[in-house]
A and B are shown apart, each in its own frame.
Chain A
Amino acid sequence: MSQLDLRGLVKRYGAVTALGGADLAVPGGTLTAVLGPSGCGKTTLLRCVAGFERLDAGEISVDGRVVAGPGTHTPPERRHVVTVPQEGALFPHLSVRDNVAYGLTREERRSGRAEEVLDLVGLAGYGDRMPHHLSGGQQQRVAVARALAPRPSVILLDEPFSALDAGLRADLRRDVRAALRADKATGILVTHDQNEALSVADQVAVMRDGRVLQSGPPVELYREPADPWVAAFVGEAVFLPATGLDLLTPLGPVAADRIPGGTGELTVMVRPEQIVLTEGPGVSATVTGHDFHGHDATVALLLADGTRVTARVPGHAVPVAAGSAVSVRVEGACRVWRGGHLDR
């Protein structure tokens, strides 16, 4: 049984529908990233789970207990669901230790739990500091420790890393992930950053317009997106028309694990890193430019039939000068859909 079950959540604000029947199951001890563009309803989803908003329809159960549903609305303080808001929101009048101990009972405070979770987030010995003496990253660590302290059923993280700069963000992300694992906590991380979702989560749920379009392990989501929109949202994607059972595309024949039945044109989704520049046989293309990123580079290619595609090559492979002719082929399995004009 899942730790957290969301079934058909609906939330409206006047004429605006923020959640239009969202479903999600979060297994115990795992971290689920909820990924979506801004305004897709992901923050509303968190607020409904926390109990700050009342559902218009649907049901939320935590640990098998129904906390929200028709005729039920457990107040936030009795849900065992703790939030970590975007800006941390430490209580400015309390020391770090008192912040962390805020959700603990008297006995738990004496047990040294506060020090334990501060240690987990790498802030052992910071108990006596006041929040305004901490850096932004440290404040977020305290907010996470405060959420972990009462061993809640679920921790909700609302874009907690978005206000930090890139280097700090990666470190903090990794440490928070480790702290959650060490404490066997169950969490939901709301984010609009694809890399963040794919790299830290056990499960990724993609939301759009108040619904969860697809949820699953990051690898599955990236390789087997449910539809072209999800495909393009979780990473860069090249969409090509294909014909025949050998899936002949402007990039030559491609492989697929399965081809959907029925009739209608076939569309193939190729990730840029699947397009390799080769010395051997392949489709000829002209390089029109490249963007160097250090660890890798993207190369813009013009194919013989006029199609433009982007390939991703490792950074050490010297980018080819614009105008030169190369041959390319597609490696690995591609995702295939029926239907011609796809809404990207």
Chain B
Amino acid sequence: MRTRTRRPLLLALSVVTVAVALVPVAYLTVRTAEAGWARIAEEVLTVRTARLAVLTVGLAAVVTAACTVLGVASAFLVVRTDLPGRRLFAVLAALPLAVPTYIAAFAWRSSVDGFEGFWAAALVLTLCSYPYVFLPVAAALVNADPSQQEVSRSLGRSAWRTFTGVTLRQIRPAYAGGALLVALYVLSDFGAVSIVRADTFTRAVFVAFDLGFDRTGALVLSTVLVVLTMLVLAGETVTRRRGARYAHLGGTRRTAARQRLGRARWPAAAALAVLAGLALGVTALSLGLRMLQGVSRPGAWAEVAAAMGNSLWLSLAGAALTMALALPLGLLTAKAPGPVATVLDRLAYVSHALPGVVIGLSLVSFGVTLAYPLYQTTWLLALGYAALFLPLALAAVAGAAAQAPPVLEDVARSLGRGPVAVLRTVTLPLVLPGIGAGAALVFLTCMKELPATLLLRPTGVDTLATELWTHTTVAAYAAAAPYAALLVLLSSVPAWLLTARTGILTAETSR
């Protein structure tokens, strides 16, 4: 038992953080309510909205199902069988995370004629999102206690029945969590569906707003989208609560014996190779070919450099603001836990339910009506990034704070060092690497963010993502290629970090 410490400064700063996180959702609610029920009903109860809802939910369902099957199957093959080239396939299955969906969509669209519509969107989103299932499931399979499988086999169950009856249950929290991430991602995706012209809510919101005449309509559509997302999130909370039961029960960890694939060994490897080829090869090949044409254009590199500079500066501002807001709340929940801290923490995750296009839209309205001095400045966009990526930063701060448990500070104090010296010699050295990695992750995620950037950037400021978007919408594929290549390069850093964190790579080498 320990005394609960009060930290008034941290608490005050955390309230500011939560306020920022809540601005978009509060504004959205107020503006939608202002529109009046009649207007909302008129907007929502239309054939078009029904069509959008069916297509959006349908797309989410198809992509989630496909990602779950692909993710679980490839994770099992890589972690638990004697598949040839396992380490390579582990990296290949995680790498699609480095490809923003709008780049994959652009790559496919520029190489395949008539690549448009629902199934095109489903294919691109599946190929880009199955790592969201693969990574947690692979990590769960590495960590799962193999003795349960061994008991099942020794009780006379076949390998297949053991897989469905025991292994799948062990990893259920992992694949359920991953599947819900995919569903959330599909609901919020804007770039890919727009490029392949699939009619979903995000695209409808953007079009309604971009055409300029229907801001209220856009807001109402956004609200419907947010409600859909909230439903998915509620599902995620339920699975997370169930997942608590699956904790590892102490003892030393053993790695499971690998399943022999026998004659299926090479066909399985071939299947994974085809999957990797579709997910990565098409994009790589298409970008490579277009690059050769793109950079040969005069003045291309100067434009790319200017966009790169803007991207760096805007992302830096976004990441700095996000981390500054995340630090007090993350430290508060780690160092002074209690009901207040928990409520604040939960509230900060609310913006998690808002797709980028919705956050962009509500902040535009917020800027125009309430915070005009911020409108058309870098800081409104930075605010948008902060609202979008606060959960990411909070998770990083919380993880970092866990690296310095209070007992270490107690010991350091008892060894005769004052609080400031303890902060300098123990707490900061342990916490800073995690916070730094979190900041880098937020920074890179800001760089590839598209919809909020499109809506909130100051006029005339082009970033890598918006330049790519502009060129794609006018089918200037060659001109778009250098931006796409740079973005893929930048995105592969956080993808690598995420993969390394699951432990599948180290588990592979230690064998």
Contact = CB atoms under 8 A, between A and B. Distances in A.
Interface of A: 13, 16, 18, 43-44, 47, 50-54, 75-83, 85, 87, 89, 91-93, 102-103, 146-147, 150, 156
B429 A76 contact: no
Contacts of A43: 1
21 contacts: A44-B1, A50-B414, A75-B418, A76-B410, A77-B414, A77-B416, A77-B418, A80-B416, A82-B411, A85-B410, A85-B411, A89-B408, A89-B410, A89-B411, A91-B408, A91-B430, A92-B430, A93-B429, A103-B417, A146-B411, A150-B416
Contact of A76 (B2, B408, B414): B414
A93 B414 contact: no
Contact of B416 (A47, A91, A103): A103
B415 A103 contact: yes
Report which residue of B2, B411, B412, B430 has the largest number of chain A beta carbons within 10 angstroms of its beta carbon: B411
Contacts of B407: 85, 87, 89
Contact of B415 (A18, A53, A85, A146): A146
A53 B411 contact: no
A102 B2 contact: no
Contacts of A54: 3
Nearest to A93: B429
Contacts of A53: 2-3
A102 B429 CA distance: 14
Nearest to B415: A103
A276 B3 CA distance: 52
B430 A93 contact: yes
A163 to B, nearest CB: 10
B258 interface: no
B309 interface: no
Nearest to B413: A76
A43 B414 CA distance: 15
A87 B408 CA distance: 10
Contacts of B500: none
Nearest to A98: B425
Contacts of A93: 429-430
Interface in B389-442: 403, 405, 407-408, 410-419, 425-426, 429-430
Most-contacted residue by chain A among B407, B413, B414, B417 (CB, 10 A) = B414
A143 to B, nearest CB: 8
Contacts of A18: 1
A77 B408 contact: no
Contacts of A80: 416
Interface residues of B, number: 21
A82 B415 contact: yes
Given A87-B407, A89-B407, A103-B415, 14 more contacts: A13-B3, A53-B2, A76-B414, A77-B419, A78-B416, A82-B411, A82-B414, A82-B415, A83-B410, A89-B410, A91-B412, A93-B429, A146-B411, A147-B415
Closest 10 CB pairs of A and B: A103-B415, A76-B413, A89-B407, A83-B414, A82-B414, A93-B429, A77-B416, A77-B413, A76-B414, A85-B407
B401 to A, nearest CB: 14
B414 A79 contact: yes
With most chain B CB atoms within 10 A of its CB, the pick from A44, A77, A82 is A77
B140 to A, nearest CB: 24
Contacts of A103: 415-417
Contacts of B411: 82-83, 85, 89, 146
Given A82-B414, A150-B416, A52 B408 contact: no
B414 A81 contact: yes
B426 A91 contact: yes
A313 B1 CA distance: 42
Nearest to A18: B1
A62 to B, nearest CB: 12
Nearest to B406: A52
B2 A51 contact: no
Contacts of B1: 13, 16, 18, 43-44
Contacts of B429: 93
Contacts of B416: 77-78, 80, 103, 150
B410 A102 contact: no
Nearest to B410: A52
Contacts of A156: 414
B124 to A, nearest CB: 43
Contacts of B412: 91, 102
Q: Output the residue of B403, B407, B408, B415 with the most chain A CB within 10 A.
A: B415
- Most chain A beta-carbon neighbours within 10 Å: one of B405, B416, B429: B416
Contacts of B405: 89
A281 B113 CA distance: 108
Contacts of B413: 51-52, 75-77
A18 B411 CA distance: 22
A47 B2 contact: yes
Contacts of B403: 92
A75 B421 CA distance: 14
Nearest to A44: B1
Contacts of A81: 414
Contacts of A75: 413, 418-419
Contacts of A150: 415-416
B492 to A, nearest CB: 28
Interface in B135-186: none
A52 B418 contact: no
A103 B426 CA distance: 12
A150 B414 CA distance: 11
A156 B411 CA distance: 11
Nearest to B412: A102
Contacts of B425: 102
Contacts of A83: 410-411, 414
B424 to A, nearest CB: 12
B408 to A, nearest CB: 5
Interface in B1-48: 1-3
Contacts of A78: 416
B202 to A, nearest CB: 44
A47 B408 CA distance: 14
A50 B410 contact: yes
Contacts of B415: 77, 82, 102-103, 146-147, 150
B106 to A, nearest CB: 44
Interface in B245-276: none
Nearest to A39: B1
Interface centre among A76, A92, A102 (most CB of B within 10 A): A76
